[in-house]
Amino acid sequence: MEKQDHISEAGIRGNKLIIINKASTGDETTIYLLPEFSITNEPVYYGICILFTWDHVSGITPIIFSKNPIYGQDLTITDKNTIKKMNEHWKSYMQDVKKYQIMPFPSED
Protein backbone atom coordinates (compact mmCIF):
# COMPACT_ATOMS: atom_id res chain seq x y z
CA MET A 1 0.00 0.00 0.00
CA GLU A 2 1.35 3.39 -1.01
CA LYS A 3 1.77 5.92 1.77
CA GLN A 4 0.05 9.28 1.25
CA ASP A 5 0.36 12.49 3.23
CA HIS A 6 -2.76 14.18 4.57
CA ILE A 7 -3.54 17.64 5.91
CA SER A 8 -5.83 17.75 8.95
CA GLU A 9 -7.80 20.69 10.32
CA ALA A 10 -10.18 20.72 13.28
CA GLY A 11 -12.52 23.18 14.89
CA ILE A 12 -14.86 23.31 17.87
CA ARG A 13 -17.98 25.44 18.05
CA GLY A 14 -19.85 25.03 21.31
CA ASN A 15 -19.86 21.29 21.89
CA LYS A 16 -19.54 20.34 18.20
CA LEU A 17 -16.25 19.08 16.75
CA ILE A 18 -15.47 19.02 13.03
CA ILE A 19 -12.32 17.36 11.71
CA ILE A 20 -11.34 17.66 8.04
CA ASN A 21 -8.69 15.27 6.75
CA LYS A 22 -7.62 15.89 3.14
CA ALA A 23 -5.07 14.10 1.01
CA SER A 24 -2.20 16.43 0.11
CA THR A 25 -2.71 15.44 -3.54
CA GLY A 26 -6.01 14.47 -5.16
CA ASP A 27 -9.62 14.81 -4.05
CA GLU A 28 -9.75 12.33 -1.17
CA THR A 29 -11.29 14.09 1.85
CA THR A 30 -12.87 12.86 5.05
CA ILE A 31 -15.04 15.07 7.26
CA TYR A 32 -15.84 13.90 10.78
CA LEU A 33 -18.70 15.53 12.68
CA LEU A 34 -19.19 14.83 16.38
CA PRO A 35 -22.30 16.83 17.38
CA GLU A 36 -22.03 16.15 21.12
CA PHE A 37 -18.29 16.61 21.60
CA SER A 38 -17.16 18.54 24.63
CA ILE A 39 -13.94 19.33 26.39
CA THR A 40 -14.78 16.79 29.09
CA ASN A 41 -13.06 13.44 29.21
CA GLU A 42 -15.80 11.22 27.77
CA PRO A 43 -14.79 7.61 27.03
CA VAL A 44 -16.75 7.42 23.73
CA TYR A 45 -18.02 9.96 21.17
CA TYR A 46 -20.58 9.32 18.39
CA GLY A 47 -21.02 11.10 15.10
CA ILE A 48 -21.00 10.82 11.32
CA CYS A 49 -18.29 10.73 8.70
CA ILE A 50 -18.61 12.11 5.17
CA LEU A 51 -16.21 10.48 2.71
CA PHE A 52 -15.11 11.95 -0.62
CA THR A 53 -12.95 9.25 -2.19
CA TRP A 54 -10.28 9.32 -4.87
CA ASP A 55 -12.62 7.48 -7.27
CA HIS A 56 -15.48 9.95 -6.64
CA VAL A 57 -17.72 7.46 -4.83
CA SER A 58 -18.81 9.44 -1.78
CA GLY A 59 -20.53 8.16 1.32
CA ILE A 60 -21.82 8.94 4.78
CA THR A 61 -21.21 6.53 7.63
CA PRO A 62 -21.71 6.39 11.41
CA ILE A 63 -18.55 6.78 13.52
CA ILE A 64 -17.60 5.91 17.07
CA PHE A 65 -14.47 7.53 18.55
CA SER A 66 -13.07 5.88 21.65
CA LYS A 67 -9.86 6.31 23.64
CA ASN A 68 -9.74 2.57 24.25
CA PRO A 69 -10.93 -0.41 22.18
CA ILE A 70 -14.56 -1.23 22.96
CA TYR A 71 -15.18 -3.97 20.38
CA GLY A 72 -11.90 -5.84 20.29
CA GLN A 73 -8.34 -4.83 19.56
CA ASP A 74 -8.30 -4.60 15.75
CA LEU A 75 -8.73 -1.29 13.92
CA THR A 76 -10.73 -3.04 11.20
CA ILE A 77 -13.69 -5.06 12.47
CA THR A 78 -15.05 -7.72 10.13
CA ASP A 79 -17.16 -9.88 12.43
CA LYS A 80 -20.81 -9.38 11.36
CA ASN A 81 -22.19 -9.76 14.91
CA THR A 82 -19.79 -7.13 16.24
CA ILE A 83 -20.65 -4.77 13.37
CA LYS A 84 -24.36 -5.25 14.07
CA LYS A 85 -23.78 -4.55 17.78
CA MET A 86 -21.80 -1.38 16.93
CA ASN A 87 -24.55 -0.15 14.58
CA GLU A 88 -27.22 -0.77 17.21
CA HIS A 89 -25.14 0.98 19.88
CA TRP A 90 -24.58 4.00 17.59
CA LYS A 91 -28.26 4.24 16.62
CA SER A 92 -29.37 3.87 20.23
CA TYR A 93 -27.08 6.66 21.38
CA MET A 94 -27.81 9.05 18.51
CA GLN A 95 -31.56 8.46 18.38
CA ASP A 96 -32.70 7.50 21.86
CA VAL A 97 -30.21 9.30 24.08
CA LYS A 98 -29.54 12.44 22.04
CA LYS A 99 -32.89 12.61 20.21
CA TYR A 100 -31.54 12.83 16.65
CA GLN A 101 -33.86 11.58 13.91
CA ILE A 102 -31.98 8.77 12.17
CA MET A 103 -33.30 8.01 8.72
CA PRO A 104 -33.44 4.32 7.75
CA PHE A 105 -30.30 2.78 6.33
CA PRO A 106 -30.72 1.71 2.68
CA SER A 107 -30.48 -1.97 3.66
CA GLU A 108 -33.38 -1.68 6.11
CA ASP A 109 -37.06 -2.06 5.17
Among 29, 24, 31, 22, CA closest to 53: 29
d(CA 6, CA 68): 24
* Average predicted confidence (pLDDT) for the chain: 82
Domain boundaries, the chain: 6-97
- The predicted model scores a pTM of 0.75
Average pLDDT of the segment spanning 43-51: 89
Asked if pLDDT for residue 54 goes beyond 60, the answer is yes
Q: According to the model, what pLDDT value does residue 95 have? A: 80
